[in-house]
Structure 1
Amino acid sequence: MRSVFGPPAGDPPFAAWNAAVAAAAAAIGTRRFPDTLMAALRMLAPAQMMNGFFYTSDGRACDLYNEKLAADRALIVDGYLAGTFVLDPFHDAVMADGQARMIAMDECAPDGFTETEYYRLHYAATRIVDEVGFVIPLAEGCVGVLSLSRLAPAPPFTGAERDRLRAAAPVVCAFGHRHWFHAPSRMRAGTGLLTRIEDSRLTRREIEIVTLILKGHSTPSLAAVLGCAPNTVKVHRRRIYAKLGISSQTELFHLFWH
Protein backbone atom coordinates (compact mmCIF):
# COMPACT_ATOMS: atom_id res chain seq x y z
CA MET A 1 0.00 0.00 0.00
CA ARG A 2 1.38 3.39 -0.98
CA SER A 3 1.70 6.08 1.65
CA VAL A 4 -1.38 8.26 2.09
CA PHE A 5 0.91 11.28 1.95
CA GLY A 6 1.49 10.95 -1.79
CA PRO A 7 -0.80 10.27 -4.75
CA PRO A 8 -0.57 6.98 -6.63
CA ALA A 9 1.27 6.98 -9.93
CA GLY A 10 -1.94 6.50 -11.90
CA ASP A 11 -4.95 4.27 -12.33
CA PRO A 12 -4.74 1.04 -10.31
CA PRO A 13 -4.25 -2.23 -12.22
CA PHE A 14 -7.61 -3.39 -13.51
CA ALA A 15 -7.35 -6.81 -11.88
CA ALA A 16 -6.44 -5.33 -8.49
CA TRP A 17 -9.30 -2.82 -8.66
CA ASN A 18 -11.78 -5.57 -9.58
CA ALA A 19 -10.56 -7.67 -6.65
CA ALA A 20 -10.97 -4.73 -4.24
CA VAL A 21 -14.47 -3.95 -5.52
CA ALA A 22 -15.43 -7.63 -5.26
CA ALA A 23 -14.21 -7.71 -1.65
CA ALA A 24 -16.31 -4.65 -0.81
CA ALA A 25 -19.36 -6.14 -2.52
CA ALA A 26 -18.97 -9.40 -0.60
CA ALA A 27 -18.76 -7.46 2.70
CA ILE A 28 -22.01 -5.48 2.23
CA GLY A 29 -24.16 -5.99 5.29
CA THR A 30 -21.22 -6.90 7.54
CA ARG A 31 -18.93 -4.89 9.81
CA ARG A 32 -16.12 -5.46 7.31
CA PHE A 33 -17.78 -3.37 4.60
CA PRO A 34 -16.43 0.11 5.51
CA ASP A 35 -12.85 -1.19 5.74
CA THR A 36 -13.05 -3.02 2.41
CA LEU A 37 -14.63 0.00 0.72
CA MET A 38 -11.92 2.28 2.14
CA ALA A 39 -9.23 -0.11 0.86
CA ALA A 40 -10.72 0.09 -2.64
CA LEU A 41 -11.00 3.89 -2.57
CA ARG A 42 -7.40 4.27 -1.39
CA MET A 43 -6.33 2.59 -4.62
CA LEU A 44 -7.86 5.56 -6.46
CA ALA A 45 -6.86 8.34 -4.05
CA PRO A 46 -4.96 7.83 -0.77
CA ALA A 47 -6.85 9.26 2.22
CA GLN A 48 -6.64 9.03 5.98
CA MET A 49 -10.27 9.15 7.06
CA MET A 50 -13.71 8.01 5.96
CA ASN A 51 -16.81 9.00 7.92
CA GLY A 52 -20.44 9.74 7.30
CA PHE A 53 -23.72 11.27 8.43
CA PHE A 54 -27.26 11.19 7.18
CA TYR A 55 -29.94 13.87 7.17
CA THR A 56 -33.65 13.38 7.74
CA SER A 57 -36.50 14.94 5.80
CA ASP A 58 -37.58 16.86 8.93
CA GLY A 59 -34.19 18.58 9.27
CA ARG A 60 -32.08 16.48 11.64
CA ALA A 61 -28.63 14.90 11.35
CA CYS A 62 -27.64 11.40 12.50
CA ASP A 63 -24.49 9.30 12.72
CA LEU A 64 -24.05 7.04 9.68
CA TYR A 65 -20.45 5.82 10.03
CA ASN A 66 -17.90 7.32 12.42
CA GLU A 67 -16.28 4.25 13.94
CA LYS A 68 -12.66 4.80 12.89
CA LEU A 69 -12.02 8.52 13.04
CA ALA A 70 -8.55 9.96 12.58
CA ALA A 71 -9.60 12.91 14.72
CA ASP A 72 -11.32 13.77 18.02
CA ARG A 73 -14.90 12.48 17.98
CA ALA A 74 -16.09 15.38 20.15
CA LEU A 75 -14.86 17.79 17.49
CA ILE A 76 -15.92 15.99 14.35
CA VAL A 77 -19.13 14.25 15.45
CA ASP A 78 -20.70 15.39 18.71
CA GLY A 79 -20.73 19.12 18.00
CA TYR A 80 -21.77 18.46 14.43
CA LEU A 81 -24.81 16.41 15.45
CA ALA A 82 -25.69 18.96 18.14
CA GLY A 83 -26.54 21.47 15.43
CA THR A 84 -23.56 22.84 13.51
CA PHE A 85 -24.31 20.47 10.63
CA VAL A 86 -26.61 23.17 9.25
CA LEU A 87 -23.45 25.20 8.46
CA ASP A 88 -21.80 22.33 6.54
CA PRO A 89 -21.68 23.01 2.78
CA PHE A 90 -22.12 19.27 2.25
CA HIS A 91 -25.45 19.44 4.08
CA ASP A 92 -26.82 22.04 1.68
CA ALA A 93 -25.44 20.23 -1.37
CA VAL A 94 -26.79 16.84 -0.26
CA MET A 95 -30.24 18.18 0.61
CA ALA A 96 -30.53 20.11 -2.66
CA ASP A 97 -31.76 17.03 -4.54
CA GLY A 98 -30.49 13.90 -2.79
CA GLN A 99 -29.18 12.43 -6.04
CA ALA A 100 -26.40 9.84 -5.81
CA ARG A 101 -23.11 11.42 -6.91
CA MET A 102 -19.72 12.63 -5.68
CA ILE A 103 -19.36 16.18 -4.39
CA ALA A 104 -16.18 18.09 -3.48
CA MET A 105 -16.00 20.55 -0.61
CA ASP A 106 -14.37 23.37 -2.54
CA GLU A 107 -17.00 23.06 -5.27
CA CYS A 108 -19.95 23.67 -2.95
CA ALA A 109 -18.52 25.87 -0.14
CA PRO A 110 -19.28 29.64 -0.06
CA ASP A 111 -16.49 32.04 -0.92
CA GLY A 112 -15.73 32.94 2.70
CA PHE A 113 -16.05 29.44 4.14
CA THR A 114 -12.43 29.16 5.33
CA GLU A 115 -12.86 32.36 7.38
CA THR A 116 -15.80 31.06 9.43
CA GLU A 117 -15.79 29.88 13.02
CA TYR A 118 -17.34 26.63 11.80
CA TYR A 119 -14.33 26.03 9.56
CA ARG A 120 -11.90 26.90 12.37
CA LEU A 121 -13.57 24.56 14.86
CA HIS A 122 -14.57 21.68 12.58
CA TYR A 123 -11.94 21.63 9.82
CA ALA A 124 -8.84 23.40 11.07
CA ALA A 125 -9.11 21.73 14.49
CA THR A 126 -9.32 18.28 12.90
CA ARG A 127 -6.61 19.08 10.30
CA ILE A 128 -8.87 18.29 7.32
CA VAL A 129 -7.30 19.85 4.23
CA ASP A 130 -9.63 18.38 1.62
CA GLU A 131 -12.83 16.35 1.51
CA VAL A 132 -15.03 14.68 -1.06
CA GLY A 133 -18.37 13.06 -0.33
CA PHE A 134 -20.53 10.37 -1.87
CA VAL A 135 -24.25 11.10 -1.68
CA ILE A 136 -26.28 8.02 -0.72
CA PRO A 137 -30.12 7.96 -0.83
CA LEU A 138 -31.53 6.03 2.15
CA ALA A 139 -34.88 4.84 3.48
CA GLU A 140 -37.59 7.13 4.87
CA GLY A 141 -36.60 10.03 2.63
CA CYS A 142 -33.20 10.37 4.32
CA VAL A 143 -29.96 11.13 2.48
CA GLY A 144 -26.48 10.14 3.60
CA VAL A 145 -23.05 11.47 2.74
CA LEU A 146 -19.94 9.31 3.10
CA SER A 147 -16.87 11.54 3.25
CA LEU A 148 -13.29 10.75 2.27
CA SER A 149 -10.82 13.19 3.85
CA ARG A 150 -7.19 14.20 3.62
CA LEU A 151 -5.57 15.42 6.84
CA ALA A 152 -2.58 17.76 7.16
CA PRO A 153 0.25 17.53 6.26
CA ALA A 154 -1.12 15.56 3.29
CA PRO A 155 -1.87 17.68 0.20
CA PRO A 156 -5.39 18.17 -1.22
CA PHE A 157 -6.72 15.62 -3.70
CA THR A 158 -5.31 16.13 -7.18
CA GLY A 159 -7.50 16.64 -10.21
CA ALA A 160 -6.70 13.13 -11.43
CA GLU A 161 -7.62 11.66 -8.04
CA ARG A 162 -10.93 13.49 -8.04
CA ASP A 163 -11.64 12.26 -11.55
CA ARG A 164 -11.03 8.67 -10.45
CA LEU A 165 -13.25 9.05 -7.39
CA ARG A 166 -16.00 10.70 -9.42
CA ALA A 167 -15.85 7.87 -11.95
CA ALA A 168 -16.20 5.36 -9.09
CA ALA A 169 -19.14 7.22 -7.52
CA PRO A 170 -21.89 5.04 -9.10
CA VAL A 171 -20.32 1.94 -7.53
CA VAL A 172 -19.63 3.59 -4.16
CA CYS A 173 -23.14 5.08 -3.92
CA ALA A 174 -24.81 1.82 -4.97
CA PHE A 175 -22.80 -0.20 -2.43
CA GLY A 176 -23.45 2.39 0.28
CA HIS A 177 -27.16 2.36 -0.52
CA ARG A 178 -27.30 -1.42 -0.09
CA HIS A 179 -25.26 -1.40 3.14
CA TRP A 180 -26.79 1.60 4.94
CA PHE A 181 -30.28 1.77 3.37
CA HIS A 182 -32.05 0.91 6.64
CA ALA A 183 -29.78 3.08 8.84
CA PRO A 184 -32.56 5.64 9.52
CA SER A 185 -34.74 3.04 11.27
CA ARG A 186 -31.80 1.71 13.33
CA MET A 187 -29.98 4.91 14.27
CA ARG A 188 -32.43 7.52 15.47
CA ALA A 189 -30.34 8.18 18.59
CA GLY A 190 -28.02 11.17 18.41
CA THR A 191 -30.19 13.34 16.20
CA GLY A 192 -29.43 17.03 16.07
CA LEU A 193 -31.37 19.22 18.47
CA LEU A 194 -30.91 22.49 16.61
CA THR A 195 -32.01 22.30 12.98
CA ARG A 196 -32.31 25.98 12.15
CA ILE A 197 -31.23 29.34 13.48
CA GLU A 198 -33.85 31.12 15.55
CA ASP A 199 -33.95 34.32 17.60
CA SER A 200 -37.07 36.31 18.46
CA ARG A 201 -35.13 39.58 18.22
CA LEU A 202 -34.57 39.12 14.49
CA THR A 203 -36.90 39.31 11.50
CA ARG A 204 -37.19 36.39 9.07
CA ARG A 205 -34.98 38.27 6.60
CA GLU A 206 -32.36 38.88 9.29
CA ILE A 207 -32.41 35.19 10.27
CA GLU A 208 -31.76 34.33 6.61
CA ILE A 209 -28.82 36.73 6.55
CA VAL A 210 -27.38 35.37 9.81
CA THR A 211 -27.58 31.83 8.44
CA LEU A 212 -25.74 32.83 5.26
CA ILE A 213 -23.09 34.72 7.23
CA LEU A 214 -22.42 31.71 9.44
CA LYS A 215 -22.20 29.45 6.40
CA GLY A 216 -19.38 31.59 5.04
CA HIS A 217 -20.89 33.97 2.50
CA SER A 218 -18.92 37.21 2.11
CA THR A 219 -20.63 40.56 1.64
CA PRO A 220 -20.48 40.34 -2.21
CA SER A 221 -21.76 36.76 -2.07
CA LEU A 222 -24.57 37.76 0.30
CA ALA A 223 -25.54 40.58 -2.04
CA ALA A 224 -25.69 38.17 -4.97
CA VAL A 225 -27.75 35.59 -3.07
CA LEU A 226 -30.14 38.17 -1.63
CA GLY A 227 -30.38 40.26 -4.79
CA CYS A 228 -29.39 43.53 -3.17
CA ALA A 229 -26.44 45.95 -3.09
CA PRO A 230 -23.37 45.23 -0.93
CA ASN A 231 -24.04 48.41 1.08
CA THR A 232 -27.51 47.09 1.90
CA VAL A 233 -25.92 43.90 3.23
CA LYS A 234 -23.62 45.97 5.44
CA VAL A 235 -26.62 47.87 6.82
CA HIS A 236 -28.38 44.60 7.60
CA ARG A 237 -25.27 43.23 9.31
CA ARG A 238 -24.86 46.33 11.50
CA ARG A 239 -28.54 46.22 12.47
CA ILE A 240 -28.35 42.50 13.32
CA TYR A 241 -25.23 42.94 15.44
CA ALA A 242 -26.87 45.88 17.28
CA LYS A 243 -30.02 43.86 18.02
CA LEU A 244 -27.95 40.96 19.34
CA GLY A 245 -25.50 43.13 21.27
CA ILE A 246 -22.42 41.73 19.51
CA SER A 247 -19.65 43.13 17.31
CA SER A 248 -18.09 40.20 15.43
CA GLN A 249 -18.80 37.04 13.46
CA THR A 250 -17.06 35.01 16.18
CA GLU A 251 -19.56 36.32 18.74
CA LEU A 252 -22.37 35.57 16.30
CA PHE A 253 -21.26 31.94 16.02
CA HIS A 254 -20.91 31.44 19.78
CA LEU A 255 -24.26 33.10 20.40
CA PHE A 256 -25.98 30.23 18.61
CA TRP A 257 -23.58 27.28 19.10
CA HIS A 258 -21.31 27.71 22.07
Structure 2
Amino acid sequence: MGSLEMAALAGWHDALPELVSMIGKPGFAGRLDSALREVAPFDLSCAFAYPGRDRPMFLHDGLGAVSSTQIMTNYLNGTYLLDAVYSACLRRAPQGLHRLADLAPDAFFEGEYYNSPDVHPCISMESGTLAEEIVFLVPVQGSFYIAYSLLRANGSPAFREKDFERLQRTAPMVTSLAQRHWEHLAPAGSDSEPAQQPTGQDVEQAFETFAPSRLTRREQGIVSLILRGHSSMSIGRILEIAEGTVKIHRKHIYAKLDISSQTELFNLFIKHLLAGR
Protein backbone atom coordinates (compact mmCIF):
# COMPACT_ATOMS: atom_id res chain seq x y z
CA MET A 1 0.00 0.00 0.00
CA GLY A 2 1.46 3.34 -1.09
CA SER A 3 1.80 6.52 0.93
CA LEU A 4 -1.33 8.07 -0.62
CA GLU A 5 -3.41 5.03 0.33
CA MET A 6 -1.99 5.07 3.85
CA ALA A 7 -2.78 8.78 4.21
CA ALA A 8 -6.33 8.25 2.95
CA LEU A 9 -6.92 5.51 5.52
CA ALA A 10 -5.29 7.44 8.37
CA GLY A 11 -8.28 9.77 8.68
CA TRP A 12 -10.58 6.76 8.80
CA HIS A 13 -8.64 5.14 11.61
CA ASP A 14 -8.54 8.44 13.51
CA ALA A 15 -12.35 8.68 13.28
CA LEU A 16 -13.03 5.19 14.66
CA PRO A 17 -13.06 6.05 18.39
CA GLU A 18 -15.61 8.81 17.79
CA LEU A 19 -17.72 6.54 15.58
CA VAL A 20 -17.79 3.85 18.24
CA SER A 21 -18.86 6.41 20.83
CA MET A 22 -21.71 7.58 18.55
CA ILE A 23 -23.29 4.14 18.09
CA GLY A 24 -26.98 4.45 18.93
CA LYS A 25 -26.88 8.24 18.83
CA PRO A 26 -28.18 10.80 16.31
CA GLY A 27 -25.56 11.87 13.82
CA PHE A 28 -23.84 8.49 13.60
CA ALA A 29 -24.51 7.97 9.88
CA GLY A 30 -23.48 11.51 8.98
CA ARG A 31 -20.21 11.05 10.84
CA LEU A 32 -19.70 7.73 9.07
CA ASP A 33 -20.14 9.54 5.75
CA SER A 34 -17.52 12.10 6.74
CA ALA A 35 -15.04 9.45 7.80
CA LEU A 36 -15.45 7.46 4.59
CA ARG A 37 -15.02 10.58 2.46
CA GLU A 38 -11.49 10.69 3.88
CA VAL A 39 -10.95 7.30 2.23
CA ALA A 40 -12.57 8.03 -1.16
CA PRO A 41 -14.84 10.89 -2.23
CA PHE A 42 -18.51 10.36 -3.04
CA ASP A 43 -21.43 12.71 -3.66
CA LEU A 44 -24.43 11.08 -2.00
CA SER A 45 -25.27 8.36 0.49
CA CYS A 46 -28.28 6.57 1.90
CA ALA A 47 -29.09 3.63 4.15
CA PHE A 48 -32.14 1.39 4.17
CA ALA A 49 -33.22 -1.54 6.30
CA TYR A 50 -34.78 -4.40 4.34
CA PRO A 51 -36.73 -6.64 6.76
CA GLY A 52 -37.10 -9.68 4.54
CA ARG A 53 -40.28 -9.31 2.53
CA ASP A 54 -41.67 -6.45 4.61
CA ARG A 55 -41.65 -2.74 3.82
CA PRO A 56 -38.15 -1.21 3.97
CA MET A 57 -37.13 1.55 6.37
CA PHE A 58 -35.28 4.71 5.31
CA LEU A 59 -32.49 5.03 7.87
CA HIS A 60 -30.12 7.69 6.57
CA ASP A 61 -30.66 10.52 4.10
CA GLY A 62 -27.41 11.68 2.59
CA LEU A 63 -29.15 12.50 -0.69
CA GLY A 64 -29.54 16.21 -0.12
CA ALA A 65 -32.34 17.61 -2.24
CA VAL A 66 -31.99 15.00 -4.98
CA SER A 67 -34.95 12.82 -4.06
CA SER A 68 -38.46 14.19 -3.62
CA THR A 69 -40.60 13.14 -0.69
CA GLN A 70 -43.19 11.57 -2.99
CA ILE A 71 -40.66 9.48 -4.91
CA MET A 72 -39.16 8.22 -1.66
CA THR A 73 -42.64 7.42 -0.33
CA ASN A 74 -43.39 5.49 -3.51
CA TYR A 75 -40.12 3.60 -3.11
CA LEU A 76 -40.94 2.58 0.44
CA ASN A 77 -44.49 1.65 -0.58
CA GLY A 78 -43.51 -0.68 -3.39
CA THR A 79 -41.09 0.41 -6.11
CA TYR A 80 -38.21 -0.99 -4.01
CA LEU A 81 -39.32 -4.37 -5.38
CA LEU A 82 -37.51 -3.48 -8.62
CA ASP A 83 -34.29 -2.38 -6.89
CA ALA A 84 -31.29 -4.67 -7.37
CA VAL A 85 -30.09 -3.81 -3.86
CA TYR A 86 -33.33 -5.14 -2.38
CA SER A 87 -33.07 -8.27 -4.51
CA ALA A 88 -29.50 -8.82 -3.27
CA CYS A 89 -30.66 -8.55 0.34
CA LEU A 90 -33.59 -10.87 -0.31
CA ARG A 91 -31.29 -13.58 -1.63
CA ARG A 92 -28.91 -12.94 1.31
CA ALA A 93 -25.89 -11.77 -0.66
CA PRO A 94 -22.59 -11.86 1.26
CA GLN A 95 -21.74 -9.24 3.85
CA GLY A 96 -19.34 -6.54 2.73
CA LEU A 97 -18.83 -3.89 0.08
CA HIS A 98 -20.15 -4.54 -3.43
CA ARG A 99 -20.35 -2.66 -6.68
CA LEU A 100 -23.99 -2.52 -7.73
CA ALA A 101 -22.83 -3.72 -11.15
CA ASP A 102 -21.79 -7.00 -9.53
CA LEU A 103 -25.18 -7.48 -7.85
CA ALA A 104 -27.58 -6.36 -10.58
CA PRO A 105 -29.07 -8.36 -13.47
CA ASP A 106 -27.41 -7.94 -16.85
CA ALA A 107 -29.84 -5.36 -18.28
CA PHE A 108 -30.57 -3.49 -15.04
CA PHE A 109 -28.68 -0.31 -15.94
CA GLU A 110 -30.49 0.04 -19.26
CA GLY A 111 -33.88 -0.51 -17.65
CA GLU A 112 -36.63 1.92 -16.75
CA TYR A 113 -36.27 1.63 -12.98
CA TYR A 114 -32.61 2.65 -12.87
CA ASN A 115 -33.08 5.55 -15.27
CA SER A 116 -36.43 6.96 -14.16
CA PRO A 117 -36.36 10.01 -11.86
CA ASP A 118 -40.06 9.38 -11.24
CA VAL A 119 -39.24 6.06 -9.57
CA HIS A 120 -35.58 5.82 -8.55
CA PRO A 121 -35.19 7.53 -5.15
CA CYS A 122 -31.58 8.65 -5.69
CA ILE A 123 -31.87 10.56 -8.97
CA SER A 124 -33.85 13.50 -10.32
CA MET A 125 -34.48 15.34 -13.57
CA GLU A 126 -31.89 17.90 -12.48
CA SER A 127 -29.18 15.51 -11.26
CA GLY A 128 -29.55 12.84 -13.93
CA THR A 129 -28.60 9.20 -13.51
CA LEU A 130 -25.85 8.01 -11.19
CA ALA A 131 -22.24 7.51 -12.26
CA GLU A 132 -22.02 4.56 -9.87
CA GLU A 133 -23.44 3.08 -6.69
CA ILE A 134 -21.50 0.88 -4.31
CA VAL A 135 -23.13 -0.64 -1.26
CA PHE A 136 -22.18 -2.11 2.09
CA LEU A 137 -24.51 -5.07 2.71
CA VAL A 138 -24.98 -5.74 6.41
CA PRO A 139 -26.92 -8.84 7.51
CA VAL A 140 -28.24 -8.10 10.99
CA GLN A 141 -30.42 -11.09 11.79
CA GLY A 142 -31.94 -13.72 9.56
CA SER A 143 -33.39 -11.98 6.51
CA PHE A 144 -33.05 -8.50 8.07
CA TYR A 145 -30.43 -6.55 6.11
CA ILE A 146 -29.01 -3.04 6.20
CA ALA A 147 -27.84 -1.58 2.87
CA TYR A 148 -25.61 1.49 3.16
CA SER A 149 -24.89 2.98 -0.26
CA LEU A 150 -22.26 5.45 -1.42
CA LEU A 151 -23.08 7.12 -4.72
CA ARG A 152 -21.29 9.19 -7.30
CA ALA A 153 -23.59 11.53 -9.17
CA ASN A 154 -23.87 12.17 -12.88
CA GLY A 155 -20.75 14.03 -14.02
CA SER A 156 -18.48 12.39 -11.45
CA PRO A 157 -16.25 9.45 -12.39
CA ALA A 158 -17.08 5.94 -11.29
CA PHE A 159 -15.15 4.60 -8.30
CA ARG A 160 -11.65 3.72 -9.45
CA GLU A 161 -10.29 0.33 -8.48
CA LYS A 162 -7.99 1.98 -5.92
CA ASP A 163 -10.94 3.86 -4.41
CA PHE A 164 -12.90 0.65 -4.14
CA GLU A 165 -9.97 -1.28 -2.67
CA ARG A 166 -9.44 1.38 0.01
CA LEU A 167 -13.13 1.35 0.89
CA GLN A 168 -13.04 -2.44 1.02
CA ARG A 169 -10.42 -2.17 3.75
CA THR A 170 -12.97 -0.32 5.86
CA ALA A 171 -15.76 -2.84 5.21
CA PRO A 172 -15.25 -5.11 8.25
CA MET A 173 -15.49 -2.14 10.61
CA VAL A 174 -18.26 -0.37 8.65
CA THR A 175 -20.46 -3.45 8.73
CA SER A 176 -19.74 -4.03 12.41
CA LEU A 177 -20.56 -0.42 13.30
CA ALA A 178 -23.75 -0.49 11.21
CA GLN A 179 -24.87 -3.75 12.79
CA ARG A 180 -24.42 -2.34 16.28
CA HIS A 181 -26.04 1.01 15.47
CA TRP A 182 -29.17 -0.39 13.79
CA GLU A 183 -29.54 -3.86 15.33
CA HIS A 184 -32.35 -2.64 17.60
CA LEU A 185 -34.59 -2.41 14.52
CA ALA A 186 -34.48 -6.16 13.92
CA PRO A 187 -37.11 -8.31 15.65
CA ALA A 188 -35.95 -9.93 18.86
CA GLY A 189 -35.71 -13.66 19.40
CA SER A 190 -36.01 -14.85 15.82
CA ASP A 191 -33.57 -15.82 13.10
CA SER A 192 -36.17 -16.05 10.36
CA GLU A 193 -38.65 -13.52 9.02
CA PRO A 194 -39.24 -10.29 10.95
CA ALA A 195 -42.41 -10.09 12.97
CA GLN A 196 -43.85 -7.00 11.31
CA GLN A 197 -47.25 -6.62 9.77
CA PRO A 198 -46.91 -7.94 6.21
CA THR A 199 -47.46 -5.47 3.42
CA GLY A 200 -48.97 -8.03 1.06
CA GLN A 201 -46.70 -6.65 -1.64
CA ASP A 202 -43.68 -8.93 -1.74
CA VAL A 203 -42.11 -9.71 -5.09
CA GLU A 204 -44.26 -12.71 -5.97
CA GLN A 205 -47.55 -11.19 -4.83
CA ALA A 206 -46.90 -7.92 -6.62
CA PHE A 207 -46.50 -9.67 -9.95
CA GLU A 208 -49.13 -12.37 -9.37
CA THR A 209 -51.75 -9.64 -8.96
CA PHE A 210 -50.62 -7.81 -12.11
CA ALA A 211 -53.14 -8.33 -14.95
CA PRO A 212 -54.16 -11.80 -13.71
CA SER A 213 -57.12 -12.01 -16.08
CA ARG A 214 -54.92 -11.37 -19.11
CA LEU A 215 -51.54 -12.94 -18.33
CA THR A 216 -50.68 -16.53 -17.49
CA ARG A 217 -48.58 -17.28 -14.40
CA ARG A 218 -45.57 -17.93 -16.66
CA GLU A 219 -46.08 -14.58 -18.38
CA GLN A 220 -46.32 -12.80 -15.02
CA GLY A 221 -43.02 -14.40 -14.06
CA ILE A 222 -41.42 -13.15 -17.25
CA VAL A 223 -42.76 -9.64 -16.59
CA SER A 224 -41.15 -9.83 -13.14
CA LEU A 225 -37.76 -10.72 -14.60
CA ILE A 226 -37.98 -8.10 -17.37
CA LEU A 227 -38.82 -5.26 -15.00
CA ARG A 228 -36.14 -6.28 -12.50
CA GLY A 229 -33.50 -5.89 -15.20
CA HIS A 230 -32.97 -9.24 -16.90
CA SER A 231 -32.31 -9.51 -20.63
CA SER A 232 -34.04 -12.12 -22.77
CA MET A 233 -30.87 -14.21 -22.64
CA SER A 234 -30.75 -14.03 -18.83
CA ILE A 235 -34.46 -14.89 -18.56
CA GLY A 236 -33.91 -17.86 -20.83
CA ARG A 237 -31.12 -19.16 -18.59
CA ILE A 238 -33.21 -18.73 -15.44
CA LEU A 239 -36.30 -20.41 -16.89
CA GLU A 240 -34.29 -22.93 -18.94
CA ILE A 241 -35.94 -21.96 -22.19
CA ALA A 242 -34.54 -20.58 -25.45
CA GLU A 243 -33.94 -16.86 -25.82
CA GLY A 244 -36.25 -16.91 -28.84
CA THR A 245 -39.02 -18.40 -26.71
CA VAL A 246 -38.62 -15.55 -24.24
CA LYS A 247 -39.02 -13.06 -27.08
CA ILE A 248 -42.20 -14.82 -28.21
CA HIS A 249 -43.56 -14.61 -24.65
CA ARG A 250 -42.69 -10.91 -24.56
CA LYS A 251 -44.56 -10.34 -27.83
CA HIS A 252 -47.63 -12.13 -26.45
CA ILE A 253 -47.47 -10.13 -23.20
CA TYR A 254 -47.39 -6.84 -25.10
CA ALA A 255 -50.32 -7.92 -27.28
CA LYS A 256 -52.43 -9.01 -24.31
CA LEU A 257 -51.78 -5.71 -22.52
CA ASP A 258 -52.26 -3.65 -25.70
CA ILE A 259 -48.83 -2.06 -25.44
CA SER A 260 -45.79 -1.93 -27.71
CA SER A 261 -42.78 -1.23 -25.49
CA GLN A 262 -41.05 -2.12 -22.25
CA THR A 263 -41.53 1.47 -21.08
CA GLU A 264 -45.30 1.05 -21.35
CA LEU A 265 -45.05 -2.26 -19.48
CA PHE A 266 -43.06 -0.55 -16.74
CA ASN A 267 -45.56 2.29 -16.44
CA LEU A 268 -48.49 -0.14 -16.21
CA PHE A 269 -46.79 -2.11 -13.47
CA ILE A 270 -45.87 0.98 -11.44
CA LYS A 271 -49.48 2.19 -11.67
CA HIS A 272 -50.64 -1.24 -10.45
CA LEU A 273 -48.05 -1.33 -7.68
CA LEU A 274 -48.94 2.06 -6.24
CA ALA A 275 -52.71 1.89 -6.75
CA GLY A 276 -54.52 2.93 -3.60
CA ARG A 277 -51.35 3.72 -1.70
Matched, 1:65 2:59: yes
CA contact (8 A) 2:29 2:60 kept: no
Task: Show the 5 A alignment for 1:63-102.
Answer: 63-70=57-64, 71-74=66-69, 77-97=72-92, 99-102=94-97
Per the alignment, residue 3 of structure 1 pairs with none
CA deviations on 1:76-105 (whole Å, 9 max, x unpaired) are 622211211111111111222254211211
State the identity as a percent: 35
Residue in 2 aligned with 1:145?
Answer: 147
* Amino acid corresponding to residue 105 of structure 1 in structure 2: L
Alpha-carbon distance in structure 1 between the residues aligned to 2:200 and 2:36 = 33
Structure 1 residue identity aligned to 2:248? V
> 8 Å contact 1:53–1:61 — kept in the other structure?
no
Q: Which amino acid aligns with 1:232?
A: T
Looking at structure 1, the residues matched to 74 and 199 of structure 2 have their Cα atoms a distance apart, in angstroms, of 9
Aligned to 1:5: none
The TM-score with structure 1 as length reference comes to 0.86
**1:98–1:143 Cα contact (<8 Å) kept:** no
In structure 2, stretches of 5+ residues that fail to align are 188-194, 272-277
Helix, strand or coil at the partner of 2:80: helix
SS in 2 for 1:165: helix
Offset at 1:13? 5.2
1:34 aligns with 2:29: yes
| Paired residues of 1:138 and 1:183 also in contact (CA < 8 A) | no
* TM score, norm. by length of structure 2: 0.80
Residue 161 of structure 2 is aligned to residue 159 of structure 1: yes
Runs of 4+ in 1 over 6 A off after TM superposition: none
Matches for 1:101-140 after TM superposition, within 5 Å: 101-121=96-116, 122=120, 125=124, 127=128, 128-139=130-141
> What is the CA–CA distance in structure 2 between the aligned matches of 1:29 and 1:88, rounded to whole Å?
28
Q: Which one of the candidate residues 232, 250, 257 is aligned to 2:263?
A: 250
- Give the distance between the partners of 1:76 and 1:51, measured in 2 at CA: 14
Matched residue of 2:159: which SS?
A: coil
AA paired with 2:12? W
Equivalent pair of 2:46/2:149 in contact (CA under 8 Å): yes
Structure 1 stretch 78-87 or stretch 61-70: which is displaced more?
Answer: 61-70
1:159-208 deviation digits (Å, cap 9, x = unpaired) = 111111122111111100000111246xx99x966323232132222111
The farther-off stretch of 196-205 and 227-236 is 196-205
- Per-residue deviation, residues 219-246 of structure 1 (Å, max 9, x unmatched): 2222222221111011111111122222
Contact conserved, 1:131 with 1:147, CA < 8 A, in 2?
A: yes
Q: Which deviates the most, 78-87 or 14-23? A: 14-23
Is 2:50–2:146's contact at 8 Å kept on the other side of the alignment? Answer: yes
Q: 1:75 to 1:130 in 2, by over 3 A?
A: farther
CA 1:229 to 1:139, structure 2 compared with 1: closer, same or farther past 3 Å? closer
Aligned residues between the structures: 248
Q: What letter corresponds to residue 50 of structure 1 in structure 2?
A: S
Is the CA contact 1:62–1:192 (under 8 Å) kept in the aligned structure 2? no
Whole-angstrom CA distance in 2 between matches of 1:15 and 1:106: 29
CA distance in 2, matches of 1:174, 1:66: 17
User: What is the aligned counterpart of 1:12 among 7, 32, 45?
Assistant: 7
CA 1:9–1:76 in 2, change beyond 3 Å: closer, same or farther? Answer: farther
Pick closer, same or farther for the CA change 1:209–1:178 going to 2, 3 Å: same
Give the unaligned 5+ runs of structure 1: 1-7
